[in-house]
Amino acid sequence: MKLIHCADLHLDSKLNANLDKEHAKERKGEILHTFERMVSYAAEHGVEAILVAGDLFDVKNISATARNTVLHNVTNHPEIMFYYLKGNHDNDNFLSRLEEIPANLKLFGPGWTTYEAAGGQVAISGLELSAENANLAHASLVLDTRKFNIVMLHGQESRGAARDKAEVIDLKALRNKGIDYLALGHVHAYKKEKLDARGTYCYAGCLEGRGFDECGEHGFVLLDIDTENLSRHSHQFVPFARRKLHEVHVDVTDCAATAEMADRAKEELARAGCGAQDLVKIVLEGMLDVECEKDLAYFLSVFRPQFYFVKAYDETTLKISMEDYLLDESLKGEYVRQVMADGSLSDEEKKIIVRYGLQAIAGEEVQ
């Protein structure tokens, strides 16, 4: 029996934190389409069930397009069972307008709900964590150890406090309960660890990266259970995102001009394997001479045609060699000496002020 475990799709996410309006709108559509592609993949590969471990949606009020697209895919694939466990971002108005919930859409509630599959050999249990049930949720889980037990939860594993409203999943409390596969959602990066001697727990990660804090591969987990021998199952992470996000740090130390920095960045981007369809964040780092020529707008214009989206951050620091200016009988030398002699300024401030002044004297843009 093949199952797909996915989570944190965040459909309808605004995506305006990193992207401009046009890109945000386009990516919003792409994420929705990736969900559709995943369902098609399931249909083509004989997947019998899709487990959505929370945060299918991102906003309180779901758009009609997202709602209808999801429902269309569910009803259009009656051969696939959809097990949808709501996460902290999900809102229950997804199904509110439906007269009847599709037969192949299985939902969970504040108490443990268990569905059977593969002729009763596989049990899929889930509970929607909330402040009210968080304390008792783990203890109240009772499973039939003869079956292949999949448990679905959405929350932060108990190594640290959850950042938002999500509840904490106490992995210790779930040990030795007979769980074979703990399908989790909330953490946006793929992660698979041993839960106990019998089972594993896995965060599928998000289906598509949305911001530069979600770089790298994203997709879903394909689980294949041998119903002849329930102790055997395979687990495979399937990269499925339409685009990847990359954060590339480029050391531009000692570069004297923007072109040099662009060359360094090209090398780093090639090393990182950034593709034309990807979203790239370039972070310039290192120390630059205070008199170096650096034009971030031009720098970006070099890379903008090469990627779907690119942005650059300047985290370089300036360096000044005072020896160069000590005996300089020019306005520039005098200026640097004047600035560096000002004890009220921090070193960094001095460098910036020196840079501005030198750019002004050189007739360059002051930036």
Partner 1 sequence: MRLISCHIENFGKLHDCSREFHDGVNVVREENGWGKSTFAAFVRAMFYGLGGERKRSLLENERKRYKPWQGGIFGGQLVFEIHGKKYKVSRIFKDKEANDEFELRDAETNLLSDAYGKKIGEEIFKINREAFMRTVFIGQGECETAATDDVNAKIGNFADNANDLDRYEAANARLTEIVNALTPSRATGSIAKRREEIARYGRIVQGGEGILESIDKYQGYFRAEEELLESLKIQMKAAGEQQARASGRQAALAKRSEWERLKKEAGEKRREREERRNCFPKEVPAMEEIRRKIVECGEMEKVYERMQIHQLSEAEAAELAALQATFCEGGSADAGRIGQLGEEGGLEALRDCFAKEQRCASVIMKKWGERNSRNKALPSNKAALAALKASMAASKAADNLPETGKGKMPLLGIVLAIIGVIVAVAVHLQAGICAVVVGAGLLAAGMIAGRNGAKPADTGNGAKPADTGNGAKPAGTGNGEKPAGTGNGAKPAGDGKDVKPRGGEDGIETPDAQADLELENLRGTIEEDEAFIARVDGEVADYLMGHGKVFDEETASDGLQGILEDLYAYENKAEKYFALKEKQENFEKAMMEFKTVGGAVATFLDKCGYEPSQRPSRQLEEIRELAQHCQVAEDALREANARLGRFEAENDVAGLAKMQGDGPLPSLGELNQQIQTLNGEMEKAHRSINEYHNTLEDLQRQYDEWEECVARLEELKERQAEEQKKFDYVFKARLKLELAKEAMTAKYADPILKGFGKYYEMISGDTADRFHIDANTAVTVDELGRQRDSVSLSSGYRDLVGICLRMALVDAMYKGEAPFLVMDDPFANLDDKKVAAARRFVEELGKTYQVVYFTCSHSRG
> Which residues in this chain contact partner 1 in the complex, by CB under 8 A?
14, 16-17, 59-61, 91-93, 96-97, 330-332, 334-335, 337-339, 342, 345, 349, 352-354, 356-357, 360-363, 366
Provide the minimum distance between the beta carbon of 284 and partner 1 in the complex, in angstroms, as a whole number. 16
Query: Which residues have a Cβ under 8 Å from the Cβ of 212 and sit 6 or more positions away?
Result: 18, 245, 247, 279, 281
Q: For residues 178 and 151, what is the distance between their CA atoms, to the nearest angstrom?
A: 10
For the CB of residue 160, give the shortest distance to partner 1 in the complex, in Å. 26
The nearer residue to partner 1, 100 or 228, going by C-beta atoms, is 100
Helices (H), strands (E): how many in the chain?
A: 8, 19
Number of neighbouring beta carbons within 10 Å of residue 33: 13
Strand-pair category, 317-319 with 287-289: parallel
Q: Which C-beta is closer to partner 1: that of 88 or that of 149?
A: 88
Residue by residue, DSSP assigns 32-71 as: HHHHHHHHHHHHHTTEEEEEEES-SB-SSS--HHHHHHHH
Q: How far is the CB of 97 from partner 1 (least distance, A)?
A: 7
- Residue 173 or 360: the one with the smaller Cβ distance to partner 1 is 360
Q: Rank residues 238 and 345 by Cβ distance to partner 1 and give the closer one.
A: 345
Q: How far apart are CA 337 and CA 341, in angstroms?
A: 6
- Name the residue with tokens 């034309």: 276
Give the type of residue at 284.
L
Alpha helices in 92-214 (DSSP H): 134-137
Radius of gyration of the chain (CA): 27
Residue nearer to partner 1 on the CB measure, 270 or 361: 361
* Nearby residues of 63 by Cβ (< 8 Å), 6 or more positions away: 12
Comparing CB distances to partner 1, the nearer of 17 and 257 is: 17
First to last CA, the chain: 61
Q: Measured from the CB of residue 323, what is the shortest distance to partner 1 in angstroms? A: 18
Residue 216 or 333: the one with the smaller Cβ distance to partner 1 is: 333
Integer CA distances (angstroms), 329 to 289, 321, 335, in order: 20, 16, 10
